[in-house]
Each structure stands twice: as C-alpha cells, then as structure tokens.
Amino acid sequence: GTIVLAERLRDAVEARRFGAGQLPNPITISLGIFTPAEITDIEPEALIFNTAAVLRQAKAQGRNQILAN
C-alpha cells in the first residue's frame, strides 16, 4: 500500500533528470510514513507531528530513504 507508493515516488524522482543542464547527480527524496494504531484516536496536529518525526528519522539515516513507523 503506502510503502509501495512511496517507493514508486522515490524511484521516479531519482530517475528523473531536472533542469536544462541535466544535473550530474540525481535528485533524491526521503519520505516518512506514520500510521497511527487507531485513526479515530489521533488529532490532525498529532498526525503531522508524528509524521514529521518519522521523516526526520528517515533523513537522519541518509539520503533517498523511506521509513515507516
């Protein structure tokens, strides 16, 4: 589901060459995926906070990463 979609997005961004000069190194992205145990029990602010925390962890592991809680 979500991880497969994130991998496809990550692969597509990495494969794409941006700009007229064709940058020598690919652009990469890191993604953080947070899934609460119960979707009805989480406030939007908490969802954003927790997703951002997972993204920070993914970025800390290096470039071009996907991390899910």
Rg value, the chain, Cα: 14
Q: Given phi > 0 = left and psi -120 to 50 = alpha, else beta, which region is 54?
A: alpha
Per the CB < 8 A criterion, the answer to whether 50 and 38 are in contact is no
pLDDT per position as a tens digit, 32-68: 999 888 777 788 898 899 999 999 999 999 889 999 9
pTM for this prediction? 0.74
